[in-house]
Amino acid sequence: HTTIEKMEVSNGLNDNINENNTTTSKSNKRKQQMTPSSSQRSASHSLVKRMKRSKSSQITMIPLKPNFKLPIYLKTHPNLLFRTLRLLLKHTLRKKSERQFLHSRLQLLDQQCRLELRQNLWQSYLNLGTEKEVWPNVVMKMAKTDEHLVCQQFVQKRLNEMKIKYDQFTNELRTQLQSCPVTLLQLQSTLDQHLKELIQIQQKYLATKMQFQLKRYEDMIKEMESFQSLSSFPLTSDQQNTIDRLIHLQEKQVQFYEDLEKLEARISIDFLPRSFDELEDFIVVNDYFPLIKDNIALEFKQNSYKIIQEAKRTWLNTYGNVYENQIEKFQHQYEVVLHQFEIANSSHACINNGTTTTTTLYQSFLNYINRRTNRLKEEIAYEKISLYRKQLLRVQRHLKSSKKMVTVKPTVIVDLLYHPFTAAQLDYLSRGPTYIRPNPSIFFPEKTLQKRIEREHNDTMKKLKKYMSNVTDLPKIPLNSPLYKSYSNQLRSYLSQSYMTLIPLIDQIRALRELKMIQSIRKKLKKYKLILRETDKSGVLHIGSAIDYERKAAEYRQTTGAYEELTSNPYNDIICQVTRLLNQLKSLNRIREWQRIKMMPIREKTELAYMYFIPKPHKKGTPPRPILNTIHAATKQISQFLDKLIRPLFDRFVRQTTFVDGVDLLDQLQKYIQKGYFNASTLFITFDITNLYTMLPQEESLVILAEFLRTHNCERINGLSIDTIIELARVVLQANAFVYNNKFYRQIIGGAMGSAFTLTLANIFMWKWERQTILPKLPSRELYGRHIGKSVPFLDVLVQNNNGILASSLYHKPSAEPTVVSFLSDHPRHVFRNVIQTALTRAVRYSSTFEIFNNERRAIRLMFLYNKYPSNYINQQFEKFFADYMSSTSSSILSMITNESQFFALREKLSNQPTAKQTQVAMSAATVDLLQSTQNVTQRNTNNMEATIKRKNDKFKNNLFIHVTHEARLKGLAREIHIIHDNHFKNTDYGEIRLIVGFRNNPNIEFELSRKRPSSSVLKDPLRKSKNENQMESTVMA
């Protein structure tokens, strides 16, 4: 007879969390105050200092009773607890008796609230168990029987005991209230209400956990019902044996799946099996380690580290492949047996109990086995792996003092022989340059927080009014309309409420801990004169000495000869040069007034550009790469204007020899193959041009730009002549002064790497070189394309000719680390989903075979594990991605497609969809409209055209875009803004306007810790500074 094993629904309500992540260490060392980098950071820092100094707020954090186990929020950080209570109760709580009373009362209320949650859970057990006559395993274990009536009586008895205990807590609370300090009597009527509000916030995770336990119990009941439905069939011995065989094959899959999940649990906490440490001992050869501790020794050590790290990552991929192969082997056997079972039993049907629905034996078995599979996977994920992880963490803490092994996770590169950073600080920096610490606004002072709220409110209202005023086909709304006032009041009220809403103490503790971490790292960087930068191509952070950076920067300037040092501040000369040119062009009617205004720099907002360098650790000696920040430069508007004018022309006329991205390259190669040109002797040839932007000859580039426009008969573009465009381009190249290390420089060769027009100009320069050097010598049938980028073999795709068969895969640069935005980062949740979907999409498109794809899929999964993505979350996103191509009748354990036909169907679907970059280039080229020029029509043999670039935004005509700052604690902010908007416009003439709420991110750790921008006094208008100083002197004299 078919049997069903006991289905565990855990009821272990362990209220503790990983205290290792929340424990703060005490030190008697004197804390030195850091120099703040901004008013916001200074405010946060001073607040933390005040919290440290308030020793009087410390009370005895002990349980009222020996059997009370204090939750984290009542024992870990009393300063944060009472800071929260002050805000909640609007009371100073200066007296120690007040704080002690509140702490004791919180203990009693916390126990009572926990008991109430348990009562609700057990009441649900009683209701469902009485109705379905199926009881959770925890009940049967405690009752020591599975008999229905006994279990029912046991649960009822348990609920009665809980009721008695709940009443005891109520009496104790009534008694304890009599000792309430006199200073709190005025709060007595609402005190418990506020305290329960605080407790519910802290216990939110516990309530969620119990809801999940109840859901698992309900799923267990459904599984039991499906089993009973299966058992209602009169089974033959062959049918029984087949079902038992199928269950056995599933159990084999589950065993290997559990082993795979355990390996991933080890990866997530960076505690690999011992065999990986043995691999490290085998690779490391200490006998050859340089004796002299210099840069050679450091480079040797870094190279050894990289070799070991890559070996471990490769081995992990192999481990995963072994587990998957075992699962797939049993899955294949399972599907064969299942198919035979389907053929034999699809017509074997019976009527379900209590219904008239007819179900076949095969359908009934599928229903049961799918529910069983889901339950087994949940048991592994939420019970077995959770327990296994805790055991690993205990062992890991015990072995903490042992030899530090090479990690597989991406790590910060410390380019120093000796450094002052702790292991915790390095681990924090290893979260990557894009990491954003959580909820930074919690510790903003009141004034700073109000400024944030006001800025968010004003930005939204400004965009709303501007959009409504530009609507042409609807009635105008007066700026002083009561509708705007109502909208503004509701928005400001909700923003204030959102920023003032309390969050769990555990989240506050984490935010405070990470704030202190940032401050301590910043302090060490300044004290030891170190520079932190994001690396070029690697995707991780790099720490080097300021002296080393300066030495390499000087060598770079000398080697390239592209820069000259200036003796005075060039700010005024550049402003005058740009302004004079624009005014002169307007006076000669060579540009229109609106174009002059669009390109004219605003003196009060204009700043000099500034240069900084990012390291290239993948190259010998870690050379620097220059980056020029021109975001507030005087020529920025001209650069953007020219880029929008010329780039569409380039996208249209040179599209045939341009590879937009890796997908575009594969598309072109596929057309080449379809024409029959690809054979075993076909070669792939790539070449790389170094320092193209920096070494671009300025005057020659302008000549080539004019030639490009004339070659394509574009004598005028949006009314501008070629000569006018060249003059504007010349000022962008030549008025290119910047600040570096508080000195002024001018770039005399090439263009700024941060300028929008430089990329377009470099592309056109390469167009000329190709026409002279490559295309005339290339047979007409051969394929040639260009892309200005950083990758070799080409872009991010690796193509190979396997004896006349094109093979392609994703190209991983040797320097690149498997980094994505950390799952711990305070980014909007959709970012993590998009990252996974994008990675899988690219892998499918670039992989020419199913085997190549599977290897890349495992590498992707490991990459997300390295970056703290939970296995369950990865599984969910993988299932969503492959959902349309996974068999609905298969109870597959793995979240993946399992055969080539599914893979090629998915690849064909994605290949037929253009990439975002392809769409962008096509839309850009489509904006070009060529018309026969009306000038010089009497000349013979002329084909002069006038180009018009039409920017059509009809696609977003009815879309209103606003942006708010994202923080984890502001969950639901976008939804609430939509509600406010709909309340005012949904049933009006403006109801068709679609509001789209986007997010701005808080500064990431690379921004918080890397000081790239020089002082404003060096960048901004020096005349304004002198004027302000003169005004101050006049005021003093008066």
> Which pLDDT does position 43 carry in this prediction?
45
Q: pLDDT (tens digit, 9 = 90+) per residue, 19-64? A: 344 344 444 444 444 434 444 444 455 555 555 545 444 777 888 8
Indicate if the pLDDT at residue 195 is higher than 50.
yes
Q: pLDDT (tens digit, 9 = 90+) per residue, 564-603? A: 999 999 999 999 999 999 999 999 999 999 999 999 999 9
Question: Which of 35-49, 315-329, 498-512, 731-745 is the least confident region?
Answer: 35-49
The Cα–Cα gap between 163 and 157 comes to: 10
As a whole number, the mean pLDDT across the chain is 86
The Cα–Cα gap between 145 and 426 comes to: 54
Say how many residues make up the chain. 1038
Confidence of residue 399 (pLDDT cuts 50, 70, 90): confident
Indicate if the pLDDT at residue 77 is higher than 60.
yes
Question: Which of 214-218, 515-519, 882-886 is the least confident region?
Answer: 882-886
Q: pTM of the predicted model, to two decimals?
A: 0.88
Confidence of residue 943 (pLDDT cuts 50, 70, 90): low
Show the tokens assigned to 790: 């950083």
> 66-84: buried (b, 16+ CB within 10 Å) or exposed (e) per residue?
eeeebbbbbebbbbbbbbb
For 1010, phi then psi, to 5°, come to: -95, 120
Check residue 318 and report its DSSP letter.
Answer: H
* Cβ-contact 720, 645 below 8 angstroms: yes
Q: pLDDT (tens digit, 9 = 90+) per residue, 522-567? A: 999 999 999 999 998 888 999 999 999 999 999 999 998 899 999 9
Confidence of residue 9 (pLDDT cuts 50, 70, 90): very low
The Cα–Cα gap between 46 and 866 comes to: 35
Show the tokens assigned to 621: 């000696």
For 87, phi then psi, to 5°, come to: -65, -40
> Which pLDDT does position 292 carry in this prediction?
57
> Which pLDDT does position 794 carry in this prediction?
65
Three-state DSSP class for residue 451: helix
* Cβ-contact 199, 106 below 8 angstroms: yes
Greater pLDDT, 787 or 327: 327
The Cα–Cα gap between 837 and 791 comes to: 23
Q: What DSSP string describes 755-810?
A: -HHHHHHHHHHHHHHHHHHTGGGS-TTS---B--SS-TTBTTEEEEEETTEEEEEE
Mean pLDDT over 261-274 rounds to: 94
Mean pLDDT over 477-496 rounds to: 94
Q: pLDDT (tens digit, 9 = 90+) per residue, 881-922? A: 998 877 655 567 888 888 899 899 999 999 889 988 888 888
* Cβ-contact 739, 559 below 8 angstroms: no
C-alpha closest to that of 761 among 842, 816, 697: 697
Show the tokens assigned to 624: 């620097």
Greater pLDDT, 289 or 314: 314
